[in-house]
Structure 1
Amino acid sequence: MKKIIWICMIGGLLSTIASPVNAQKRVARFEKEFQKTLALVNSDQFTVKFYIATPTVQTLFTPPGAGANIDINPQACYLSMNDSLVTSKLPYFGRAAWTSKSQLDSISINNVLFSRTVKIYQDGKKQAIAYQITVRTGEDIYYLNMDIQYDGTCYLYFSDRKRAPISYVGQITKRD
């Protein structure tokens, strides 16, 4: 009986010691991944491939998962930064597309960016990046607000003067 009590006490002691160690390792891993993602964003040499589109309804931004999510092909939906040149092909789904799920329009950009803002913020226990760019074309101004998580997951909120806002979910990678 005494052996069982000693084994339980030792097991309890080891679990309380191991828990903070695991937490520290997890925090260190999050920080390492965040620094890698931040370096990629600051290099302005990256591509984001999107795999989910979420048309908005009445609010300015629809958080991913809160609307009618549409699965899209990441090879056909991307945003690429090459220093100050922004290139993108984003499928746009309007209100009529919600019933048929067919692509109505696409947004293509191949212009120099007008403005760029990068801010680091705390997202719970992890850090994230708020990346905002504005691109002017001859006929329109595009506003692209991206939340980039520590692991490279990106949430893009796209708006312009002609369309209802739409959001995309994707993953940031190094430019090919």
Structure 2
Amino acid sequence: MRSKTKKKNKNKRKVKVQGNKFIIWLEKHWLVEAFLEYLIFTVVAIGVGFLTFGNKSIPGPLREFKYISPLYLNLTILIALPYYSWFGSLREEGFNTLKGFSEVFLYLNGLGFLLHYFVGIELEDGEGVLPPLISLNSRYVWFPIATYIIFFLIAAVITIASKGSKKK
């Protein structure tokens, strides 16, 4: 019985060490790590772009960037952040916990909603990439607002639940 327990513990340590070897190798080869991070983010961004902009279940007017940008941004970060927190440049920053992961969405959607709703994002030449939601068609503004609220509320519930579990 004892030998089985020792073998299981040895196997767990071996898997953990193998995972650490990859991280250590990436730290030593920072150029490969930077290229890999760039490549992964690009692939995720293109994949989410095809998922959101090419999705026929979303009505045509809502597939414009000014309406679908909150969904695109949130899905891109939702898919890319786990890689960066486990293997990439954010592994030392505290994003490897569920609470740290959800705080990103709290701040992103809270501040992003206020910025997008009232101010918008403009380029230097005056053309708006994301015009303020106040100035857009009122029939379609519900979609980006609902996206911000849904991602914000899910992150808030996770953050509150993780704070409640630490107290016990």
Q: Report the structure, 1 or 2, having the larger helix content.
A: 2
Fold agreement, TM-score > 0.5 = no
Q: What TM-score, normalized to structure 1?
A: 0.30
Which structure: greater strand fraction?
Answer: 1
Q: Which has the higher relative contact order, 1 or 2, with Cα contacts under 8 A spaced 6 or more apart?
A: 1
